[in-house]
Structure 1
Amino acid sequence: MSVSWIIRKKMAASRKPMSMGDIELWKALGISAVVVLNEDHEVRHLGGLTEYINLLKSIGFKVLSTPIRDFWVPTLEEALNTVKWIDERVKQGDRVLIHCNAGLGRTGVISACYLVYSLGISWREAVKRVREMRPGSLENEIQESFIEKFEKYIRMREESL
């Protein structure tokens, strides 16, 4: 299993686990919080989404589930809520792992959104950094253009406060 640190020792990206050995690797890397972007049918080999989330919690992970259809994007509000959750965990000292199926598309979207949100960098810079750390990330134009929309969305929200 390949785990890519998008922000060293703070936020990582990965594919979904295929076995308990993969989950044990996360523990060995000091991961303490997991963002699950899979839909139920994608984790049937782990008992389905509810069972999988309960398993992660039972072994000590903090878990956020934000199911997103494969090759697609969340809503702007879902993305914002997810990156806020990641930001809270990181500020509390947790190491956060984000995963979907292959750890590229949806995981790349949330990773790039988090960089825009937490570092205040442009969407282009965020996409570039995510792809440098995890080649193949953001698998289509819809996903890439979502990062631009997300940047505009959070900047607009900041200005209205």
Structure 2
Amino acid sequence: MNENNFDSSDEEALEKEQTPFELSWLSLEPVNYAHILGISALPGCKFKNVWRNLFQNVEYHKQDFVIHHYPFLDGDVPEIDTCHKIMEDLKTCMDHSRKTLIHCYGGLGRSCLIAACLLLWLDDGMIPDEAIQLVRASRGPGAIQTIKQYNFVNEFRENMSRSHPSFEETRRALPRLSR
């Protein structure tokens, strides 16, 4: 107990267990785009009894990051309309050469699913397993955590084309690096 008889043990534990904000960079050069994509856990949140310092995370905001947040359940996949909106927002970021961070609570499931779908969206020649491997090379072997997420990546193009007929035209309109 401290002098005012208030037990601050939670605060003390908070100070001892802070971890740095861990950010992985996924280069989009393999799909011929001059852009990199940040993937991380949710900035400033408590994760399994470890707190991140939000004040440190604000430093990333000062570096002009654009952070998109589309909530869907942990271990789950987005609705295809939500995924389409995410891809459109990412396109806008790329069109404006903005630094972009995709995050989810742990930084491995939902955020990596979106990153893999983006790779498939940007490159007709990329197969789903290749997209998953690129994301795992960047974020670690735990990226794309559930069977449902794995299947979503594998069925992404088919589902997107069925739900959004303009998908092919929109995707092909993205600026590309010269080969």
For normalisation by structure 2, the TM-score amounts to 0.65
**1:127 Cα shift?**
0.8
| Partner of residue 91 from structure 2, selected from 68, 87, 92 | 87
- State the distance in 2 between where 1:32 and 1:102 align: 19
- State the distance in 2 between where 1:107 and 1:146 align: 13
CA contact (8 A) 2:67 2:101 kept: yes
- State the distance in 1 between where 2:106 and 2:71 align: 14
- State the distance in 1 between where 2:168 and 2:92 align: 22
Aligned-CA RMSD value: 2.2
CA contact (8 A) 2:80 2:160 kept: no
**1:160 Cα shift?**
7.9
| Partner of residue 74 from structure 1, selected from 78, 81, 92 | 78
Match of 1:6 in 2: 26
Higher Rg: 2
Match of 1:21 in 2: 55
| Partner of residue 154 from structure 2, selected from 132, 145, 148 | 148
- State the distance in 2 between where 1:26 and 1:102 align: 18
Q: Where in structure 2 are there 5+ consecutive unaligned residues?
A: 1-20, 29-34, 45-52, 170-179
- State the distance in 2 between where 1:160 and 1:96 align: 23
**1:148 Cα shift?**
1.2
SS at match of 1:14: strand
Equivalenced residues, count:
131
**Larger RCO, structures 1/2 (Cα 8 Å, 6+ apart):** 1
Mapping for residues 58-137 of structure 1, pairs under 5 Å: 66-120=70-124, 121-135=126-140, 136-137=142-143
- State the distance in 1 between where 2:23 and 2:64 align: 11
For normalisation by structure 1, the TM-score amounts to 0.72
Aligned AA (1:2): E
- State the distance in 1 between where 2:89 and 2:79 align: 15
